[in-house]
Amino acid sequence: MDAVVTGSSPSSADALKAAGNAELGSAEFAAIANIMQRDARIHLTPAKITLVQSRLSRRLRAHGLSTFRDYVQMVGADAEERAAMIVALTTNHTHFFRENHHFEHLCRTAMPWLQDRARRQPVRIWSAGCSSGEEVYTIAMCLLGTSSASASWLRQGDVRLLATDLAPHVVASAAKGVYSAETVAPIPAAYRDQWMRQVGPDYVMVEEARALVTARVLNLFDAWPMRQQYDVIFCRNVMIYFDDAAKAELEARFVDMLAPGGYLYIGHSERLIGAATKAMSNCGQTIYVKHGGRT
Ligand SMILES: C[S@@+](CC[C@H](N)C(=O)[O-])C[C@H]1O[C@@H](n2cnc3c(N)ncnc32)[C@H](O)[C@@H]1O
């Protein structure tokens, strides 16, 4: 299970002190938690204090600051550092074919519907909170299949995958599509051999796969620049970091963004709440379909 910041033991707090890190007091933690809630809707409970201290100590050192008081003052006045702080407090853990039952559903159930639509209209798929791109390229490989022939429907239609995240460094990785041998290990060989090529020690997504994907920085709570509706949205292991009000708000926006009959995939420990529950039906483990698309 992922977490933005996980709890840590008293011994790790001692280790932090011994390493010369500044101590994070409750007032400064509360100020940081407020900024996280306001700007990214990320909810930090007091149990995260040691990890927040650990993650931000590097930021203090980078600015030559010795107290969190000074750092909090700095982020209050400096939007760039505020953004860097938010990024430092996100967790970007991801991997190829994570929660594989979603990709089985995508291949078996969603694909025939998407292929049918692609004959008549543009098809749009969004990996929201994409981290370094493993999720969006897993989707791409499912759509491409395991041969050049199985990918022909994508060449004939207008199919695009959007990958967004608030952390610029992971979006840059998603745009590049370059992964280590260890990272590509979960990819079935038939997909990897067809859609990646080895360059030195790394594996690079081939151009046909990369060309399907547009990677952009986007805070999910800002305005969304996309104009058309989406057929499939993946937002997995992102909403665990939000409180219920933020989850309900975001899920309602996903519903508005989805075409009737479109699919929403969420993380294994997440659930739909609020207005979204009325507009969507559960059609698999953490998979939802928007009402109105099929008879
Ligand atoms: C644990 S990763 C999940 C990656 C991928 N979806 C998966 O399930 O493997 C969570 C991602 O959500 C992003 N994130 C957190 N809050 C966000 C927000 N308000 N807007 C956009 N992205 C956010 C983080 O930067 C991080 O890369």
Each residue's pLDDT tens digit, 222-248:
999 999 999 999 999 999 999 999 999
pLDDT digits (tens, 9 = 90+) for 48-87: 999 999 999 999 999 999 999 999 999 999 999 999 999 9
C-alpha 83 to ligand 1 mean position (Å): 15
Residues involved in catalysis = 55, 165
CA distances to 19, 55, 141 from 64, in Å: 15, 15, 45
Is residue 270 within 6 Å of ligand 1 at its C-beta? Answer: no
Question: Are 10-88 and 100-290 equal in CATH topology?
Answer: no
C-alpha 238 to ligand 1 mean position (Å): 5
Nearest residue to 277 (alpha-carbon basis) of 256, 240, 248, 257: 248
pLDDT digits (tens, 9 = 90+) for 157-188: 999 999 999 999 999 999 999 999 999 999 99
215: helix, coil or strand? strand
pLDDT band of residue 11 (cuts 50, 70, 90) is very low
- Provide the token pair at 9: 């033991």
Q: To which H or E segment does residue 268 belong?
A: none
C-alpha 66 to ligand 1 mean position (Å): 30
Nearest residue to 282 (alpha-carbon basis) of 266, 293, 269: 266
Q: Ligand 1 atom closest to Cα of 127?
A: 6
> Is the domain defined by 10-88 classed in CATH 1.10.155.10?
yes
- Percent of residues, the chain, with pLDDT higher than 90: 92
**CATH code linked to domain 100-290:** 3.40.50.150
Average pLDDT of the segment spanning 115-125 = 97
Q: Ligand 1 atom closest to Cα of 131?
A: 27
Most informative mutation of 131, 169, 242 for ligand 1 (most atoms within 8 A of CB): 131
Contact 88, 270 (CB under 8 A): no
Average pLDDT of the segment spanning 92-99 = 98
Q: What is the residue extent of each domain of the chain?
A: 10-88, 100-290
